Amino acid sequence: MEKKEKVDSSISEYFKDLLDDIELDEESEEESEEETEEETEKETSGEGDGEGDDLEEESEEEKRRREEEQRRKNKNAEEARKRREREAKEKKAQEKSEEQRNELGRQLVDFKKKYPDVDLAALDNDKKFARFIEGKLLGKKDFTQLYEEYVDFVKEIGGTAGIDIQKEHMLKERSSSGSSRSSGGYVSGGSDVYSEQDLERIAARIPFMTEKEAMQVLPKFEKSIEFYKNKK
Amino acid sequence: MANTLQAQLVGLSQRIYKEWIAKTVLVQSCDRSFEGEFNLERNEIDIPVYHDLSVHKTTLKERELKPAPLEFMKSSTIRVTVDKARYSHWGHLKISTIVERLSQEDSETRKKLVNRWAREAEDELALWVAGLPRRQEIDLSALLVDQTKNPNGLLTPDNIVLALDILKAKIIEKNMEVADFRLFTSERFRSVARDAKILTGANLDANEPFRKGFVDIINGIKIYEHECAAITKRSASTGLVTEETAIWKSTDGIQYVVPYKNTITYDIPPTEVLMGAKGYQTVEYYDFFNLYPTRLYKVKIKYAAS
Would you list the DSSP string of B120-186?
HHHHHHHHHHHTS-GGGEEEHHHHT-BTTTBTT-B--TTTHHHHHHHHHHHHHTTT--GGGEEEEE-
pLDDT of A226 higher than 90:
no
pLDDT of B275 higher than 60:
yes
Q: Which pLDDT band holds residue B198 (cuts at 50, 70, 90)?
A: confident
Average pLDDT over residues A135-164: 74
Q: How far is CA B173 from the centre of its chain?
A: 24
Would an 8 Å CB–CB cutoff place B110 in contact with chain A? no
pLDDT for the residue B179: 93
pLDDT of A48 higher than 50:
no
pLDDT of A38 higher than 60:
no
pLDDT for the residue A139: 82
8 Å CB contact between A167 and A190: yes
pLDDT of A142 higher than 90:
no
C-alpha count within 13 angstroms, C-beta hemisphere, residue B35:
9
pLDDT of A46 higher than 50:
no
Average pLDDT over residues A141-159: 78
A228 Cα to chain B: minimum distance (Å): 6
Express each pLDDT in B222-268 by its tens digit: 999 998 999 999 999 999 999 999 999 999 999 999 999 999 888 88
Indicate left, alpha or beta for B95 from its phi (over 0: left) and psi (-120 to 50: alpha): alpha
pLDDT for the residue A180: 33
CA distances from A70 to A41, A50, A51, A73 (A): 11, 15, 14, 5
Buried b (16+ CB within 10 A) or exposed e, B51-82: eeeeeeeeeeeeeeeeeeeeeeeeeeeeebeb
pLDDT for the residue B232: 96
Would an 8 Å CB–CB cutoff place A5 in contact with chain B? no
User: Contacts of residue B265 in chain A, CB cutoff 8 Å?
Assistant: none
DSSP assignment letter at B282:
E
> How many CB pairs (< 8 A) connect A and B?
53
User: Contacts of residue A200 in chain B, CB cutoff 8 Å?
Assistant: 1, 3, 7
Average pLDDT, chain A: 71
H helix or E strand, kind and range, residue A196: helix A196-205
**What are B150's strand-pairing partners?**
B146
Helix (H, G, I), strand (E, B) or coil at B84: strand
pLDDT of B113 higher than 70:
yes
User: Contacts of residue A215 in chain B, CB cutoff 8 Å?
Assistant: 18
Express each pLDDT in B85-100 by its tens digit: 999 988 778 888 888 8
Would an 8 Å CB–CB cutoff place A229 in contact with chain B? yes
8 Å CB contact between A11 and A103: no
* Closest to A169 in 3D by CA, of A124, A104, A110, A220: A124
pLDDT for the residue A125: 78
* pLDDT: which is higher, A10 or B181: B181
Q: Where are the alpha helices (DSSP H) in A8-142?
A: 26-50, 54-57, 60-114, 120-125, 127-133
* pLDDT: which is higher, B211 or B196: B196
Burial (CB < 10 A; 0-12, 13-18, 19+), residue B228, is buried
B286 to chain A: nearest residue by CA?
Answer: A208
- Calpha distance B242→B70 (Å, rounded): 54
**pTM to 2 decimal places:** 0.62
Residues 162-221 of A with CB under 8 A from B: 196, 199-200, 203, 206-211, 214-215, 218, 221
Q: Do A203 and B7 touch (CB under 8 A)?
A: yes
Lowest model confidence (mean pLDDT) among A1-15, A101-115, B155-169, B199-213:
A1-15
ipTM at complex level: 0.82
Q: Do A222 and B261 touch (CB under 8 A)?
A: no
A218 Cα to chain B: minimum distance (Å): 7
Average pLDDT, chain B: 88
Would an 8 Å CB–CB cutoff place B119 in contact with chain A? no
pLDDT for the residue B60: 73
Q: Where are the alpha helices (DSSP H) in B185-282?
A: 187-195
Buried b (16+ CB within 10 A) or exposed e, B125-137: bbeebbebeeebe
Average pLDDT over residues A107-115: 80
Average pLDDT over residues B135-152: 94
Q: Do A209 and B14 touch (CB under 8 A)?
A: yes
8 Å CB contact between B279 and B132: no
Lowest model confidence (mean pLDDT) among B19-23, B69-73, B185-189, B256-260:
B69-73
Lowest model confidence (mean pLDDT) among A40-44, B107-111, B296-300:
A40-44
The sign of the dihedral angle between the CA atoms of B157, B162, B167, B171 is: positive
pLDDT of A187 higher than 70:
no
pLDDT for the residue A36: 47
Taking residue A5's Cβ as centre, other Cβ atoms within 10 Å add up to 10
Lowest model confidence (mean pLDDT) among A44-58, A79-93, A186-200, B185-199:
A44-58
A215 to chain B: nearest residue by CA?
Answer: B14
Q: Do B4 and A211 touch (CB under 8 A)?
A: no
**What are B257's strand-pairing partners?**
B287
